[in-house]
Amino acid sequence: MKIALGTVGLDNAFLEQVERESGEDLSRCYQCGNCSGSCPVSFAMEIPVSQVIRFVQLGQEQTVLQANSMWLCVSCLQCQARCPKCLDPSKVMEALRRLSLRQGKRPVALAQVPDGFLERSPQQAVVAGFRKLIA
């Protein structure tokens, strides 16, 4: 994935929106990388968790919202447990999913769910999975 770094302006509406939606103060993140290092699915993410936060700080909305990272986050809270600044990156990922859904972007359509999947899956897994599809 090609990533363009723009200039950081004083008015970063995307950063403010993500902070408001997540309740997290992203200015506290100093890019130590503990969140990405502890994430069990970072190997499959187009942008690691720490870089997602950095791109939000830089106002790179399209870069962040086009990546698969927020959809792969399993909210295991390993990132929060390892953060020296007590940030919760999983809340940021949740906020990014909601913002993306409000823009009409959906990673999977309900019609794509295979027949019988809901009957075979544990209720907790179904609820957790579909939680990602509602704004």
24-56 per-position pLDDT tens digit:
999 999 999 999 999 999 999 999 999 999 999
pLDDT of 58 > 80? The answer is: yes
Percentage above 90 pLDDT, the chain = 61
Q: Which two tokens stand for residue 116?
A: 């019988």
Instruction: Specify the pLDDT at position 107.
Output: 74
Residues contacting residue 69 through CB under 8 Å, at least 6 positions apart: 45, 46, 47, 48, 49, 52, 93
Instruction: Specify the pLDDT at position 4.
Output: 47
SS (H, E, C) 30-53: CCCCHHHHHCCCHHHCCCCHHHHH
Instruction: Specify the pLDDT at position 15.
Output: 96
CB atoms inside a 10 Å sphere around CB 66: 15
Instruction: Specify the pLDDT at position 7.
Output: 47
Domain residue ranges of the chain, discontinuous segments joined by +: 13-107
